[in-house]
Copies of this chain bind each other. A is one copy, B any other.
Amino acid sequence: MKPVLSVVKIGGAFLEEPGLVESFTSAFASLEGHKILVHGGGQRATALSRRLGVEPRVVDGRRITDADSLEVAVMVYAGWANKTLVARLQSLGCNALGVSGADAGLIRALKRPAGEIDYGFVGDIASVNAPGIANLLAAGIVPAFCALTHDGRGQLLNTNADTIASELAVAMSDKFTTRLLYCFEKAGVLRDVSDPGSVIPRIDAAAYADLRAKGKVAAGMLPKLHNCFQALEKGVDQVFIGAPEMLTPGHAIQTEITL
């Protein structure tokens, strides 16, 4: 039987408040088996950009990563956010090691070609170094990825954290029974966004098509759900969306995504 590997993505919003960092890291540390953390760092990067007079550029709701924005992202994601999480996890007995995709060549990406929009230093994942990650896991290490990759030619690139999580889960699914868990501020995908109790326990492809047709999926949830289905189609065993509490044993409220 293949060993179990949980890939947990935590949104950047959780890094804004010390209380949320504490509750998330405690839940993550308690999770049994092999595990990988992937974190965003969004709002803090925006705040630092503003303080430095680097105005974030957004086109059609997509952030543009120019050279100054990349520097800010690297400082916040790989620096403050990553090391704060790692130090906290270490204090809880969880042997975290913080990485970007450049470290040990773990995730290589291609700079997105400029089309109608030039996204700047944004990378789409080209390959995941699964043996390198397996080596770290075998050494009892818990890799903690920030949302940065590299092109193998010395250039760091900004890469969506949700996508990093799903691609990692996919790449490891040959050797591990992989569980992909997207943690965010709600208890799951809601039937009614104004009712936090309306968590949908299970969404399969048919239910997803139905929800989309009825315009019932929040805009921000669409790419997340797309990542979930892609991960399942490419071999990931289980996919969940919910609050960090879903990482603790016995917790039942969450949304499971199935094919």
Contact = CB atoms under 8 A, between A and B. Distances in A.
B135 A87 contact: no
B74 A79 contact: yes
A99 interface: yes
Contact of A79 (B76, B86, B90, B135): B76
Query: Chain A binding site: helix, strand, loop or mixed by DSSP?
Result: helix
B103 A156 contact: no
Interface string A132-164: 100110010100000010101111100000000
A12 B64 CA distance: 30
23 contacts: A51-B52, A52-B52, A71-B80, A74-B83, A75-B76, A75-B79, A78-B78, A78-B79, A78-B83, A78-B98, A83-B100, A83-B102, A83-B103, A86-B103, A87-B102, A87-B156, A90-B150, A90-B152, A90-B154, A91-B150, A96-B103, A97-B103, A136-B139
A139 B80 CA distance: 27
Contacts of A46: none
Nearest to A105: B90
Q: How many copies does the complex hold?
A: 2
Contacts of A132: 139
A84 interface: yes
A198 B136 CA distance: 46
Nearest to A156: B87
Contact of A88 (B79, B80, B95, B154): B154
Given A87-B154, A97-B99, A135-B139, 11 more contacts: A48-B75, A51-B52, A74-B84, A76-B79, A79-B79, A83-B156, A86-B103, A87-B156, A90-B150, A95-B105, A98-B103
B156 A104 contact: no
Contacts of A103: 83, 86, 96-98
Interface residues of A, number: 41
Contacts of A65: none
B139 A91 contact: no
Nearest to A144: B103
A91 B88 CA distance: 31
Give the top 6 A-B pairs by smallest Cβ distance, nearest first.
Answer: A79-B79, A75-B75, A91-B154, A75-B79, A97-B104, A87-B102
B51 A91 contact: no
Interface in A58-116: 71, 74-80, 82-84, 86-88, 90-91, 95-100, 102-105
